[in-house]
Amino acid sequence: MPVIAFANSKGGSGKTTSALLLACELAETTDVTIIDADPRHPISKWATPRDSKSVPPKRLTVLQNDSENTIIDEIEEAAARDPFVIIDLEGVASKKNAFAISQADLVIIPMKEQQQDAEAALDVIKELVTLSKMSGKKLPFSVLFTQTKVVAKSRTSRFIAKQFRDNARIDCFNVEVNERDAFAAIYTMGGSIRTLDAKQTNGIDRAVENITGFAAEVVTKLRAQNIDKQGRAA
């Protein structure tokens, strides 16, 4: 079954939020395991219900990882059980990250359109190239721009994004995860963006549309690697 890892060594890149949003969206129609391998365990905290409306999607399993010694076994067990496995990796280079990435069918590198994020994303790409050479296995990856403005992007933001999109060696998502109130609200309210109260959170419909597009592009990229939704060779 497809394994998707989210990796970036810089905090605040939108890594955890993007991973969680994707997991919740996919769980609308199929079984998904999200492995919380970040030592802060933000997803495990999110998954702790506050009330009956803040529970995670029924088809989403949250698994907390606490050791590099167990990460591969946890990935394999989850992949044997569920159609999708998503891993939120810790924000530093580590053996745990390397172990998890080695099992991934797609590595998503979230980054804001800022110079520090760009440098961190390039570090991850270099690590992936090294791991690919060491393992003899191609590790597909794609850069995801996060917390982007829907309108009125700055010149700096446009310049940084263009450097990545114009680089033939770097695959980038067409869809961007925009800066939206609903994406932040799930940490406060619990649940997914689809269970938020429109009276308390603005722009839910647009947020759902944004993440639906993101999830669809993830599936398209997996299919392009001859992996269908069930993880079988096409």
> pLDDT of 25-62, one tens digit each?
999 999 999 999 999 999 999 998 777 677 899 999 99
* Nearest residue to 14 via CA among 120, 130, 97, 166: 120
User: Is 205 a domain residue?
Assistant: yes
User: Is 57 a domain residue?
Assistant: yes
State yes or no: pLDDT of 230 exceeds 70: no
pLDDT at residue 37, rounded to an integer: 95
Residue recorded with tokens 């997991």? 23
* Nearest residue to 129 via CA among 159, 169, 166: 169
User: Is 213 a domain residue?
Assistant: yes
Q: What is the mean pLDDT of residues 211-233?
A: 78
Q: How far apart are CA 49 and CA 59, in angstroms?
A: 15
Residue 126 burial class via C-beta count within 10 angstroms: exposed 0-12, middle 13-18, buried 19 and up:
exposed
Q: Structurally, how many domains does the chain consist of?
A: 1
Residue 219's domain is classified under what CATH number? 3.40.50.300
* Nearest residue to 7 via CA among 177, 142, 114: 142
Across 44-75, b (16+ Cβ under 10 Å) vs e yields bebbeeeeeebbbbebbbbbebeebeebeebb
State yes or no: pLDDT of 92 exceeds 80: no
Does residue 182 contact residue 137 with C-beta atoms inside 8 Å?
no
**Longest pairwise C-alpha distance within the chain:** 52
User: 16 in helix, strand or coil?
Assistant: helix
User: Is 118 a domain residue?
Assistant: yes
Does residue 124 contact residue 91 with C-beta atoms inside 8 Å?
no
User: Is 29 a domain residue?
Assistant: yes
User: Is 139 a domain residue?
Assistant: yes
| CB contact set of 113 (below 8 Å; sequence gap of 6+) | 145, 148, 153, 156, 157, 158, 160, 161
State yes or no: pLDDT of 233 exceeds 50: no
* Nearest residue to 100 via CA among 69, 71, 78: 71
pLDDT at residue 229, rounded to an integer: 42
pLDDT at residue 226, rounded to an integer: 65
User: 48 in helix, strand or coil?
Assistant: coil
User: Is 145 a domain residue?
Assistant: yes
User: Is 231 a domain residue?
Assistant: no
Band of the pLDDT at 225, cuts 50, 70, 90? confident
pLDDT at residue 145, rounded to an integer: 97
The pLDDT tens digits of the residues spanning 166-187 come to 999 999 999 999 999 999 999 9
At 173, the amino acid letter reads: F
Q: What is the mean pLDDT of residues 68-78?
A: 96
Mean pLDDT (the chain, rounded): 91
Q: Which of 5-14, 16-25, 45-54, 58-67 has the lowest mean pLDDT?
A: 45-54
Does residue 32 contact residue 26 with C-beta atoms inside 8 Å?
yes
Q: How far apart are CA 158 and CA 161, in angstroms?
A: 5
Q: Which domain holds residue 146?
A: 3-224
pLDDT at residue 232, rounded to an integer: 45
Residue 29 burial class via C-beta count within 10 angstroms: exposed 0-12, middle 13-18, buried 19 and up:
exposed
